[in-house]
Structure 1
Amino acid sequence: MRSTATQLAAHGALDANGERLTQKKMVMNLFEGPSTVLTREDIAARTNLKLSSVCGRVFDLVASEMLTVRGTRKCAATGLDHELVGLPSPF
Structure 2
Amino acid sequence: MIRADLGQQLEAFVARLVETGRYTSQSEVLREGVRLIQDREVHIAALDASIARGIEQADAGQTKAAEEVFDRLERKYRDLSNAKA
Normalising TM by the smaller chain, what interval?
A: under 0.3
Normalised by the length of structure 1, the TM-score is 0.22
State which structure, 1 or 2, has the greater radius of gyration over its C-alpha atoms. Answer: 2
Q: Quick one: higher RCO (CA 8 Å, sep 6+), 1 or 2?
A: 1
The structure richer in helix per residue is: 2
